[in-house]
Amino acid sequence: MINIQFADGSVKSFAKGISAEAIATAISPSLRKRCLAAEVNGVLTDLTRPIETDAKLILITEESPVALEIIRHSSAHLMAQAIKTMYPWAQFGVGPNIEEGFYYDIDLGDTVLTDTDLPEIEKVMTKLVAQSELVSRREVSKAEALSVFKNDIYKTELINDLPDGDIITLYSQGDFTDLCRGPHVPSTKWLKHFKLLSLAGAYWRGDSKNKQLTRIYGTSFFTAEALTDYLTMVEERKKRDHRKLGKELDLFMLSEYGPGFPFWLPNGMILRRELENFWYKVHLKEGYKLIQTPIMLNKELWEVSGHWTIYREHMYTSTIDDQEYAIKPMNCPGGMLVYKHDIHSYKDFPLKIGELGLVHRHEASGALNGLFRVRNFTQDDAHIFMTEAMIVHEVSELVRLYDYMYSVFGLSYQIELSTRPLEKYIGEISTWDRAEKALADALISMGKEFKINPGDGAFYGPKLDFKLQDSMNRIWQCGTIQLDMNLPERFELTYIDQNGEKKRPVMLHRALFGSIERFIGILIEHYAGAFPTWLAPVQIKVIPVNIAIHKAYAEAIKVSLLENDFRVEADYREEKLGYKIREAQTKKIPYQLVIGDKEVADQTITYRRYGELEQITVSITDFIKMVKQEIANK
């Protein structure tokens, strides 16, 4: 007999080798019908797997946080099965679940799919769902796995990369078999509510030297209603596309003369400067000292930092006076030189040095995407130098700062702790272990929940990644806090401790917005281009009803608003009033002031907020006071 402990803490005994499915049935047949997988001792597993030892068991139902991940992964297999049915020569790369759905990378030979093919694939998927085919798992040897996939070069490559002796698992449904760790739903009947969304090209294993495969994206949900809601939101996201709104609102442009190098237009510069000024003000208040470091530095510096070895393929280089230079892909090495410029004491700590630094990184042309993926961008970097004993407190202070800054924009977040990469890292493993523990301790001390992201740390240290959630429920990687005990060693940074001895400081790298460009792209879509008044390029539009009669008073209002530092425009064109108002709405200007006979006679203004129908008449003094307060409160 074995003892099974349930989520509520209760314990029951069952025969050794019993499955989670049988346990669920013993509790309640209706519970069994609602279960799609299980978690045994913290590991997700299929319902039919035997349990051989005492275990903690969680039965995974539709309400479980991981349930959607499982049906989406299974939906990727369903899509692959349908494609194999339609295109028997197809070979398959990888097909994981992702944040809001799934994809599969497929080699279809000379066959080229278009969006019009997706509904046909969906029809076959629907038929397979109706057959309620059971999903089965089996363990095989490496030799057997290679035999099963002898006609699929991609699966063969994946299998050959597995260490000898590893357990290899195959999942089958009907006549389709896939290489996978699982777990999966018990049968295809769970996968009724899906939608194939788009096609893209993807190099095998992300390497441009490899063949480009066809990547098909899709999503799935437990109910038709949830799927419909999601698809409605997808359409809203298209309307909010920052590339589309950036053009409509005259914020930025892109040119074929510089792919990946954005141009900022006048309205975009206002938005950018307001964001930067806010950043400067907050950081000066937080005790940061602000610097600027050169955009290009000698190769030797990048060799010391490790970038030349680890990051060379992403760097732009040039030759000056017969010496090789690199345009900085990161601000950190310049920050190290600034630190070394002076002698530092423990009394200086924590020493916070901030920089809005322009960096350049070579990105593949196919990866470029508006402001989200560019080749030059401004990182809102800071480097905080401290003793090791200060780590927990300073990380806690940074998380507090991030709380405030993100709340201003109405952005919530989740935290991931990314640990040492398996390859391409610098420093001793013992140093990494201490650094990872310090970051975890800081979050635990604040009561902050976090997720471990194994192997995704920077090459010089572990990091905390802040995943922001916008108004469209999308997740964005923006802020990061990276604990680095390696670069201070490589640059031989020192400080004088209380005993007068030289010691090595610990350093935090941190970026809050991450990239000014990318953060603005996120804000454009988050706000749908309707920025809060403090950020809006044009805050107020003054519109006289009749140019001949009302222009003089409208101009006086405009001058008064300009004197109070508002960004204001007046529309004196010979156009219909309705047209002018609609255009101001299209440009998403926060306030429209309509000036007519009543306003001139009473020396008042009538305003309407963007997106609202109500018109409110107040004195110009009260209006100025109201808007100033709104801007001050962000």
Positions marked active-site = 332, 361, 379, 381, 383, 463, 509
Instruction: List Cβ<8 Å contacts ≥24 apart for 583-589.
Output: 584/541, 584/543, 585/610, 585/611, 586/248, 587/249, 587/538, 587/541, 588/249, 588/528, 588/529, 588/530, 588/531, 588/536, 589/536, 589/538, 589/539, 589/540, 589/541
The β-bridge partners of 40 are 43, 57
Q: What is the CA radius of gyration of the chain?
A: 29
Q: SS3 for 348-412, per residue?
A: HCCEEEEEEEEEECCCCHHHCECCCECCEEEEEEEEEEECHHHHHHHHHHHHHHHHHHHHHCCCE
Q: Give residue 3's Cα distance to chain centre.
A: 42
* Sole residue written with tokens 């669920």: 24
The number of helices, as runs of H, and strands, as runs of E, in the chain is 20, 33
- Taking the C-alpha atoms of residue 218 and residue 196, their distance in angstroms, rounded to an integer, is 4
- CA–CA dist 94, 77 (Å, integer): 10
Task: Give strand pairing partners of 171.
Answer: 137, 178
Structure tokens at 34: 């609602």
Q: Are 214 and 107 in contact (CB under 8 A)?
A: yes
Integer angstrom CA distances of residue 175 from 141, 304, 495: 20, 56, 67
DSSP strand pairing (540-544 vs 568-570): parallel
CB 522 within 8 A of CB 471: no
Mind giving me the DSSP string for 181-235?
Answer: -----SBGGG--EEEEEEEEEEEGGG-TTSPEEEEEEEEEESSHHHHHHHHHHHH
